[in-house]
Every structure is written in C-alpha cells, then in structure tokens.
Structure 1
C-alpha cells in the first residue's frame, strides 16, 4: 500500500480557518517527506512542518527533524492557520512528488526579463513575455503594473498597468512598455514589471526586470594643463617703526583706548590647541579654520586669545589633527606658519589676536611647574621667543597684545629671586616692547600672595604695592582668571548667601586695579558648563561686574563713554574638560544658553585699519602673489578634480610659501587660478624658479602638468657699506690667567627662520683654566643684524660685526657658558655664519 495524504478543515471563522494535512505511511513507511500544493489562501501559522518555499500561490512544506520518519501504517500530522475562505481547497496536492488528489493543479504563470537600447529620441519598447507552464481549459487572467528601479517613470519610460487574458489553450502573451530615448551619457537603467491577482492559475515568477541600455558614447575627457608664471619679487615693506601706529591699542587709567583715544573693550574667546602636541588649534579635524573664525565673528566676539607653547616655536614635528580637505592651505606648514595663517585671516575679517604663552613644553593645561620656564626652556629662551614673535608680527594690526605667561601660580609677586614673577614680567615685557612698541603687555596674577590663595593666575593683590613697570608708557594690562564652584569648591562658595560677597572678592583679588583707575584688567579666562546652581550665581555676579556694576547693586558704576573690564571666555573648544565650550561636541552648534550671558558684554571694534604709518600692516614683509592658471581643453559635463602642490627649484622655502590643494572645475568651467605667496627681499641675486605640479586628474586627462614660476630679481648689487666707527672705543679684555688647551669656545645656531628673516643664538663656553673677565668676538655674516640682546655691537664692516659682552655677562667662570641672541634680515644656512673668537 502506498503512503497517503488527506486534507481537512477542523475549524473555521469569518476571514480564516484551521487546516490539517494527515500523512499515513505505506508498506515501506516514510524516511523524510515533502508536501506540495497550490492555494488561494495565505498560511499565517504552521506546526508540524516548515515552509521550504512560497512563490506565488505554491507552497512547499517538509518535515521537521522529529517527525521525518513515518513507519509503515503510522501517521504524521501538519496543521496550519490561514487567512481566507475554508471553501478554497488546495490544488495539486502531492507527497514526495506523487499526486494525492484534491483536484488537478492549476497552471503556473511566469514573466521573463527584457532589455532594449534607449535610442537618441522618440520611443522604443521593452517587450516582456508572460507564459503559462501549460494550457488551461478555461480563461486565465493576471494583472500587471510597472515600477521604478534606477529608471524613473515620465523621464525614462512611460508607466503602464493593466490585465492580461489567456484564452483557453493559449500559453504566451506580451506586455509592451514605452522607453523614452535621449542623448545623455549615463549608466544602464532598470524598471520593474510586477504580476498580481491571478485567476485560473498560480504565480510562479511574479516580477521581471526591464533594462534600458545606454547607447550614447561619452565625449573624450578634457585635457588638464597648467601654464608658467613670473613675478618681480619686490622689496619688503618697512615696519611700523617706533611710536604709536594707526589702529594699535594703548591704555589710559583703567581703560584700553584706540589710536584716537576712544575707550574700547576686548570681548573674546579662547581657542586652544597650538600649545598642545597637535601644534594646531583644535577642531580642524572637523572644520576649516576660516569657517570656524567666521562663526566666532558672527557670534559677536572681537578677539581670540590664542594659546601656544615654547615647543611650538622650536619643534620639527608636523602639525597633526587637521583635515586638509577642509584646510588645504595649512598642508605642509609648520605650527608657527599655522599661527601665521590664523593671524592673517583674523586681519581679513576684523578679529584681534592675543598671543598667550600657555606653557613651555607642548601639552594640555598650564606648565606643570607653575612657572614661565622649565628644563629645556629657560627664562632667557622665553624672552627671546617673545622678542622673535614681537618682531615677526610687528605692524600686524590684528595682533594686539602678548599675554606673557598663563597662570604662573608657583611664582612670587615681588621679593626678587628666580621665581619673582613681577620682575620676570618686566624683563619680558620690556624685551617685547623693544622689538614692537605697539603691543599691549598682559601680565597675569599668581596663585597665592602673602597667605591669600585664589585661582591660578587670578591673584593680583601684589600689584598694589609692587606694580609692573614697563619701558613704554600706557601699554600694561593686568589679567586675572576666575572660575566657579564646579571647577573647584573654593571655601567662599560654601557660605550661605556667598553671592553677596563676590563683588568684594573680585575687588580684593583683581578688581581693585580697575575700580581705583590703576590699570585696565583683562579677565583672560572664565567659564562654566552651567550645570552647578552655584555656577549660575557666580556667573550672574561676574558678568554684572564686567558690565560695570562694580558693587552688584543693579546700577552701572562707570562713567558714560568708558568701558568695563575686558574678557575672553574659556573656551570656544567643546573639548575643555572643565567648562566645555561655546560649541557643542559636534564642533558646529553654538550653545545659546552661554551666549545669552555674553552677548550683553560684547563690543564692536570695527574694521582693522592699516598697521603701520606706511600702510603696510604686515607681520612679515608684505608677500606678493604669483598667479598660475590651470585650464581644461573643453568644458566637462561633470565636476573635474585635480591635485596640485608646489615644488622647490632654485627658489626655496624662504622665497615662496609652500602650498598644496585640490582644484575643482565645476561643469562648464575651464579655468582656475592658483595663488602662491612670494617673499620679497632686497638681496641682489639671480632669478629663481619653483614649480606648481598638477597630479591625479579625475574627469580629465593629463596634459602639461607642471608650471614653472620665475621670481624675477629686481635688486641692484649695493655698494660695500663704509666701515662704521665703533660705538665706543673697544675695550681690551683684561689679562687672563694662563690657560691649558682650550680657552673660549663658541657656537652659533639659527633657532628660528621665516620669510626674509631669522633668529640666531651664540653660546660661549670657558674651557680654559680660570675665569674670563670680559670677552669680544667677531661674527662674519652677509646679513644685517636688526636686534641684539645680552651683547653689544662694537663695530661693523663689509664682512661682519665685532661684538662684546654686555655689562652683566663679561665674566665667565671655568666650564661656564654665556649666550646672546640676535635677529637678522635674510635667510641663510649655518655655513654663512663665521664665528671668530
């Protein structure tokens, strides 16, 4: 006896029913089984079997692991819940391929894919073929409709829908879809044709893909070329000279004033990162620096306090943490050159810059020892670095001041010695003013004075009895830092009603300097995340104080025409662990709840006027721009990209600013310009060349990919300068004790260089026996010394200089070393400096 399969409906209701299939094993039983049938209902739940496939109306079910074996005469049961009418019987029941009755199986409908070339215009037809797997004895119908794939109805083809009818005996029909031709070069596109609602048949394959084949050839890509360029190098612009230059700031009493004597206020934000191991402002991994600075300007800030480290000025490390696709003009620059770009763009958009020596070695926060010097970065180096920066940015009206050192909390205010911060600030401030008399000198407080502790950098109590004295009048600004309870739970925040005493606390520590008209004050750091309720009370008090309500009674206490205390909020960066930033963590969104406190305190400084009396206004010699033109031989229909970079030739790093980037030709564009900054000088020399090289064109072919830039020399060879008389008769050094081999040994090194100038350091070591009392040396160099410190120039001739000790460093003990430094015009290798003792 053969195995059998029977169907029954044990339960039904409106819209659904329970179906049952009973298998009975024949003489040999069953070792695994498969059940197949067509249905006009949908199985929604199944037990005793699993669905192998369900295509159209056809179901294929098979055994589970536990009921695969059905012994001879034994049974297995399959149950299912279905939607639809119980009166609809399954058709074509079969068990392991053997028909089981229940009516003859219905024919199956399938549809095949189709393809056609689109043509250049008009219409063509996609022809889909629909078939029955066998003829039916009565009419069969099925609905159809098109749908979008990568092709779009109305643009690429005409949408279509309808019903096909197979007469009894017919097994093939066609559906035609109109395709719209064009001449666009594009990828092949597809649409879908779907069958549904069969009557008198089941659906075996209900969907076909129609492919519209592109038959338009793309024109050849345009050729990418770049031309040569040339430019006369020009002469450096003269600096701002001495005295007050148009647009620079000074002080009057407790006010900061412009060149016309109008009271102004610095109202800014701190943007840190240059002081870190990134050697670049933070956030450039997320945005372009120009976009970031534009946003600062738009938010109403007029100043950026820009922290940096001593290491930034001396490292060979490459700046990192920069997305150069967003900051193309920073690629290949040093950290100091990145600072140049920040300052340059600040000048373009009307922002001012305060340079802040934040720490010595690169890292986060203030210097670990709380001082302005540390191992590897002496006080002398700190002063020399400030002089170099002052000279570098002389005449640059965007830079308004030098914040000499951030939070020197371990220093003493007065009293003498190596850690006397007031005295060190005078030494550094006067050195800066000797190189650049236009800057404000910003001096922060210490951490503790005579037993009174305050925020690091916030304690200026000592300035009352020991003020800082500078060599240039009206340039001193004191600076404090002040923070709320969330940063550190200072004891004054723990008293009930502490907010009533905050005005007195500000007065005690730093505010008295402003209140008593002693000097202007810059609140260089203050900030909060606005999460501690005590912070809000502090913020209300300190912003009121900054606005001029010095006793916090609700009334402004300063005269009309005067401005309150200047300030720079900490920080713009969201990655400040203590305070967060003006920006949220996405580096784009402004936290408006912070800006609501700051907006009433802001001040419009207006446009930046020219920096110097000659209108030059440049920190370095005003660079000239050489323009290279890159072209496409024909306009492209899609964007064309090509990379570019400068390459030195006989012209080197001191002659032009290295740069790189990517040009983008939009559809229709055939010409783009690359601007390269050329450093002017007064050296008589041969014409020099460098190249701008194109590479990796996308959407174009390579043509002439290298343009030569020629820097045309326009300097005549100067006549030899006359021998200048010595400033005073040379001092013959005293007779030294007899020495063994050795004596004075010297070395000279260039510690920094920029377009048109350099900073050098000379070290003298006594390797003989006995102390040296007074020294004099000859320095052969073709370059002009523009500034010198810790030594005096005795005479100069065509070959170089005669230099002797300053009054305080003539004595050199055995094995001791003294040093001096100088700034020079021009750029040269060490071989061009000849030291003769």
Structure 2
C-alpha cells in the first residue's frame, strides 16, 4: 500500500470534536502534492494545515497547502479539523490518497523495537562547513542485529557541493545496530554562507527497517540563518492628524491609534479613562510577572537587560506594564535572585522595592505607564491559594499598609497610574454580603486608604469567581456590580478589572454552546461588559491571553478584540461614539514562561510571537510623548506648510548602517477614502549613518461633522534592512464639533445575482474586513435574507482571487479555480425574512472592494 493514514480524535465535547489526520508516504519516491478523500457522517466546520476542496453528501476531499505539498518517501504530514457531532465519534472510512485506496495505520507489533530520528538545529555560519548531527534511536535494545536505511532530502534547503551555492552535502546509507545497541549518529555537512535568507530545512528520512519498525521516520534539521540578524530593522510609527487645523500638534512616537495624552494622573468620566486634560485614553499593555514569585524580580533578567526588554515593549506598541508583586516582596529576607548582573549592573544589591523603582524610573523615561498588581500574599505562582487578599501570615491590615506604603512612595509620580488591589479573588471570596470574605467591602477599605496618601491613583477592582450561582473565571465575575457597586470616597478614580480566558485554559460551557463564538459578546456583557455598556465606570481587562494554538481560542480572541474596541455585538460595526475609546487591557503575558498562555516573547526571551502582536495591533493606543506613552522610535502628528495640512510619521532604522538602506512606501485607504487625503508613494533612502526619515501625506480638510477616519501607510521591498513593522495607521481626527454618528467600518457589499428559480428567496452577503496584515486578512460575511419568504438551507458561490485557508460557521463544498461554493452548517441553515446569519474566513492577499463576487445558489 503506497500511503498509510491514521485518524485520531484530539478533543471532544457534547456537540463536536477536533480530529487529526496523519498521512505517511510509504513509497520509495516523494509525492509532489497530495489529496486525501474519505467518507464521514460528521460535519466539518473548520480546517487547518490542509484545504477542504469538496464536500458532497458524506464524502470529503482535502488537499495540501503550498507549504506542505511535498511528502518525502517515508515522510509524514498532519492536518486537522473541527466538526459537529453528537455522541461517540464514528471514524471516517474509505480513505484514498492521490486516488489510491489506503488503510488506517496499524500499530506495529509490540515485540519489535522502533526506530526514530530526532530534529536538530544549527547556525549555518558564514564560511566553511559544519556538521549537523542526527541521532537515530531504538526505543529498546534488540537481541538481533537490526538495520535501517537513511537518506537526506531537501526541505527548503538544497543539496550540492561546497561552493555551488548549495546548503548541505547529500548523504545516504544503511545503519546496522548490533544486539544491545540503541543509538547511532549520522552527520550531515552544512555549507556556511553570508546570504541574507530565511531559515532552511534539510530532512533525514528512515526507510526499509529489518527486524524493527519505524516510529518517527523523518528528522528535520533547521539551518538557522545567522546573516539576517546583522541587518538593521525598519519600523514605522502610527500617528494622528487634526483634519482642518493648520497648527503643529506634535504626536509622539510608538505604535497605536490614540491621539496622545497629557502628562499627569488619569481619572475617569463615565465609562472612559481620561488624562489630566479630560481627553479619553486607553491602557493597552502587557503583564510582566516575576516579582510575585520567589525570584522577587521581573522574569527574563537572567538573560536580558531590563531596559532592553522595556524598549521592545514600546517598539511593539504597548503603553503600560501591569507589574505583579507579592506581599512577601517587602519582607527583609526577600532577596532578588535569578538576575544576570553582568547584563543588569544597576540592579546589583537592590531589594525588591529598589528593583521596582528602577522599572518605574525607566518606564517614565521611555513613556510607559505602570499598574502595580498585588498578585498574591506569599511569594509563589498564580493567585493566592485561599482565594483571598489575606491569610494567617499576611493580614488584611498588612495588605492595606503595603498599599499605603507604595502609594506614598510613588506620590507625585504619574508614571504609576494606580493599584490593582488584588489578583483574582475566588473560592470563598464574595461580592457583597458583609463579613470577612466580602471582597467589595475590602476593596473600598483599601481604595480609600490609598487615597488618603495619594489622590492621583486609579483604583482597579477585580471581580470574584461566583455570584448568585453564576460561575466565571477567577476575578472575572462582576455581575454583582449591578446590585452592589463599589463606592470610593474619591470620585472619578474607580476602574473595574475583570480577567477573561479561552477554551485552552479550561473548557467552559459557553465554548461548547451551539452558537459559539457568536454567543461570546453576550457572555462578556453578562459578566463584566455591562459596566462599560451602561456607562457605570471604565472597564480594564487586566488579563487575557492564549498560545493561539486552539482554534476555539482564535475565535474567542476575534470576539473579545471586537468587544474591547467598541464593536459590542462583534458584527463588524463600532457601537460607541467616535470621540470615545473602547475598553482598556493588558495581555497575559510578556513572559514566555507562562505555561497556560506562553508569551509575547518566544522561549529565547528575545524573538516575538508576531501573530499575537498582529492580533492586538487594532487595540493599541498611543499615549503620546508628553502623556507617558509612545516612544518607539520617533513621532508624528500634524504640520502645515503653505496652507496645506500634512500627517507626518517617522520611519526608523534600529541602528546606523554603513551602506545605504532603501524602503518603498505607499498609502492605502481604510475608513478614510481618496477624498480625505492625497494618495502618496515613493522610496525612502537612508544614507550611511542616518536612522530616521519622515513621510508626509497631505490631508484634505473640510467642515463636515463626521467620525474620525483612518488610512494606512505600508512599507515594502527593503534593501539592506528587514522590516519589523510594515504598516502604520493614520487617524484623521474630526475637529468640526457637533454630534457625530458612531463610525461604521465601510463594508464591501458586492452585487449578488439572485437565484434563477423564484420562490421569493433572496440573500445579500456583506463582507467586512476584520483584520489584515502583509500577506492575508480575515473577513466576516453577514448573509441577510432580503426576500419575502424564509430561507431553508443556503448555498453561495464566491468568485475571488484570494485563496481561503480557513473557514468557520460555514463549509466549502467545492473549490475550482477562483470559484468557491459555500453552504450553511446544520445549526445556521435557516434565515428568517429580514434576518442575518454570519460566517467568516481567513485568506491570502490584500483585499479590495472588487475582491468578492457572489451568487446565491439557493
């Protein structure tokens, strides 16, 4: 049999499951492209690592994506899907691969030893050769001689002789394991070069075992390119421009869409956090933990300088650090540790408070704000074990005294904006009711005590776990605010701070609801969003995060991102006034050593999980140079020359370079159109030694009372540099007063051909672009019944030049050329008259108004 297929259920719940399909090539030659077909009774709604090209009846057809098309001899590939299903999962049948019948993989006999080969990585070097060592292992010793063949194969690296431009020397042979031997090593020679290129892979494939079987037949060797790191990085700052006022307003640097904040402490006004001038601002930050642990210092200092990491936070667009600490931090015997003082010399000899002072001081220099978070009582990981803000050692009075000490210590320093009183009250903690476990009452006592010594601070109050039998995340349940709001002696200083997490942290019931993820905005509103929606007070989501490897997590993040931004029903339209900001937030976490969520940083404490930053980018906010935010390499704002108003932004090179650096730029429309600004493109040239260049875009002023509007500036085609931030958002701020209708992201509403047969059924698909990046985008589609009878089962044909790589709340029935046939799932098949159902997809390319053409097939 040429191909072997294995199917596994990765996870399951009442109404569905996720499945994994493993395909192994048992041919003696590689397969260039693969198609897998099978029959299954369940209904697939989401796929990854493969493309669903057809679904007719119970028959599914999948094929490879561009990056996993090649399947070497003996090699394997995996893809997965999410499906709706009730009861036990019945495994698929009638597997075929590339038209050949294939059986389900059968585990090897238990009596035979199994071969496996490891994955390795090696820096390629600039010249000469290096050896990449692969280890071939047996899981147990054999009493007989066993053998296995091995051969290298090209992944993205190419084989050839030294000096030919190839990356490695091909190698093959047979390994013989004598009785008792369990490990052997083969070495693949790697050629060094100075070519600036991506990391490349070479494969080692095991085949034809004798008296043994193969458990893992492919080792992946990664040739880490060590030349690209030498190139400087190009970044571009987000900015804003005042539409019709020809005066210089400055702007501040850093990423984010905000207008900037005045220096001084923050206060509140309704559901808005405002700066010292009363202008709305938004906290858009990251959690940096470690001071709450037995290390008594922020994590990562064992390998990096703390200022370097804080600079990186600013470069990525964050404006605030939530800094957890424990009550034990302030004990005399709590000595900071786990710090490389050769990289952090100015921290040597300091206690925990001294290190906190250093963090606060440097934050003030680079424009970050700090929220201090009493994370737990004794030093350790996570929330306090008893769920309360005190215990037998650390009393409530000690907790309040620690907060008064910190408030007095930082009095007058507006870098520290406030106190997150206690992290994740849960268990016995109650909201109201009186007594020693009444968290709401305790929060008032602590908040009022703080304001006796520091009236400038905001007081952040988290929720509890349970209220009137309704359970939610620890610290996330703020239902009780409706019945028992917090009442501080100082007005305009209270912010409520829930926490919210996705399916991968715990499979809460709402993640298994048939209406998931569309049920999430109502769940957010029920538990904490009602505070913002009713204007009671601002909401700051103190923790939310994910590794983004669970498809349900990605769907959750899309909904919570929309909700935080002011799209309160997550339908693609902003539901709050143009002069208001959405909810504030800090992502969990900066640290990669969070076992639940991972971090913004990867495990090397330097590289960035760019997918997370890209997801958060629409929520960023620039506090401005004099508001304690921004930074990030330059600034921007409004200038006028000869009566023309320009938006200005800065493109920054991370270091001076000995050769000329060039980068192309061009403007792109977003909610602002061609009548709002002058389309601009060109090339910037950095002469040797230069590190900053300015782009100016002329803005067309008018007297219309209208929402703020946005256009984009995109960077491309770098020479002698790499692009770290490829796109800036430019907000054109309305300055004409009046009442502004809440802005609505202009949807792409392409024409729809009605069905050829009558019956009164008609639908209109409306596409909105929910997110976009250099190589792709996420689209949401609202399908509205515009006919005069209910639609029962709907099928659409979409013509688009964009390749769809992922779809949810609908399924692709077929895909031919640029044409996709898409239909409903079982639970969203009916559309009443004048009602709407929604689905979404991810695709490659840059979308435009003419990217989508629809036919309603019935």
TM range (shorter): 0.3 to 0.5
If asked which structure has higher relative contact order (CA below 8 Å, sep 6+), I would say: 2
TM-score normalised by structure 1 residue count: 0.43
TM-score normalised by structure 2 residue count: 0.42
